[in-house]
Amino acid sequence: MEQTAYRWYILFPNHQQGLRLNRELKEMGIKNQIAPTPRAASSCCGISLIVEPDDLDKIRLIIEHIGVTIEKVVKLPVKTDWQYRGI
Amino acid sequence: MADYRQMWTDLGIDLEKHDLLCEVLPEAFGGVFLSQQSRPEGMDFYDFVVSEIHGVRPAELIEHRKQGGKVFGTFCVYVPDEVVFAAGGIAAGLCGGSQFWVPGGEKVLPVNTCPLIKASVGARLDKTCPFFQIADLYVGETTCDGKKKAWEILSGEVPLHVIDVPQQKRDKDVAAFEGEIMDFIEVVENLTGNKITPEKLGEAIKLINNKRKALQRLYDARKASPVPISGKDALLVTQIAFYDDPARCAQMANRLAEELEQRISRGEGVFPANALRVMVSGTPMAIPNWKLHHIIESAGAAVVVEESCTGTRYFEHLVDESGQTIEEQVKALAQRYMKTNCACFTPNPGRIDDIVRLAEEYKVDGIIDVNLQFCNLYSTESYLVKQALAGHNLPVMHIETDYSEQDYEQLRTRIEAFLEMLRK
Q: How far is CA B379 from CA B162, B224, B282, B345, B371, in A?
A: 24, 31, 9, 14, 6
Q: Edge-to-edge strand order for the sheet containing A32-36?
A: A32-36, A47-51, A6-11, A72-77
SS3 B130: helix
pTM metric for this prediction: 0.97
Closest-CA residue of B relative to A12 is: B1
- Residue B44: which of A22, A42, A84 has the nearest Cβ? A22
Q: What is the pLDDT of residue B1?
A: 58
Interval B359-375 mean pLDDT: 98
State whether residue B102 sits within 8 Å of chain A by CB: no
State whether residue B383 sits within 8 Å of chain A by CB: no
**Separation between Cα atoms, residue B92 and residue B53, nearest integer Å:** 13
Q: How far is CA A59 from CA A26, A29, A32, A46, in A?
A: 11, 11, 10, 20
Question: Which residue type does B368 have?
Answer: I
Instruction: Give tens-digit pLDDT for B257-286.
Output: 999 999 999 999 999 999 999 999 999 999
Instruction: Give tens-digit pLDDT for B64-119.
Output: 999 999 999 999 999 999 999 999 999 999 999 999 999 999 999 999 999 999 99
State whether residue B295 sits within 8 Å of chain A by CB: yes
What is the least distance, in Å, from the CA of A40 to any CA of chain B?
Answer: 9
Instruction: Give tens-digit pLDDT for B178-225.
Output: 999 999 999 999 999 999 999 999 999 999 999 999 999 999 999 999
% of chain B at pLDDT higher than 70: 100
What is the least distance, in Å, from the CA of A1 to any CA of chain B?
Answer: 24
Q: What is the pLDDT of residue A1?
A: 56
SS3 B111: coil
Sign of CA pseudo-dihedral B215, B221, B226, B228: negative
Kindly provide the ipTM of the predicted complex, given to two decimals: 0.95
Q: Which residues of A touch B100 (CB under 8 A)?
A: 87
CB-CB neighbours of B144 under 10 Å: 23
Give yes or no for a contact between B408 and B299, defined as CB atoms under 8 angstroms apart. no
